[in-house]
Amino acid sequence: MTFGPYEMVIDFALMSVLLFIAQILRARVKLIQNFYLPSALLAGVAGLLLGPQFADIIPFTDQAGSYPYLLVVVLFATLFLGQTEKQSLKKVLD
């Protein structure tokens, strides 16, 4: 199977659906709220259990494992784009 932009969009759509379901579960199930489990953790566990590693219900591509590395690069590349000029300590204290 060749990898292209369409497969990446499908992977992100599947991940978005998992996050949406996890957010609903977190909002409705009191036990999950009491343990302070974030919805991203719930979605990740669901994706691991339902993905190709275990149940093979959700058809993630083989390239889905490389997304975190690429997204961290984008995160750090854009981290300081909105950074304004720093003021001197004297101006801040006044």
Tell me whether residue 93 is in a domain.
Answer: no
State how many domains the chain has: 1
Tell me whether residue 92 is in a domain.
Answer: no
Q: Over 70: is that where the pLDDT of 94 sits?
A: no
Tell me whether residue 90 is in a domain.
Answer: no
Tell me whether residue 84 is in a domain.
Answer: no
Per-residue confidence (pLDDT) for residue 89, from 0 to 100: 73
Q: Which amino acid belongs to residue 11?
A: D
- Taking only the tens place, the pLDDT of each residue in 12-22 is 999 999 999 99
Per-residue confidence (pLDDT) for residue 88, from 0 to 100: 75
For residue 48, count other CB atoms closer than 10 A to its CB: 13
- Taking only the tens place, the pLDDT of each residue in 27-82 is 999 999 999 999 999 999 999 999 888 998 998 888 888 888 988 999 998 887 87
Listed residue (37, 39, 38) closest to 16, CA to CA: 39
Per-residue confidence (pLDDT) for residue 1, from 0 to 100: 61
Listed residue (73, 67, 49) closest to 9, CA to CA: 67
Q: Which domain holds residue 71?
A: 5-79
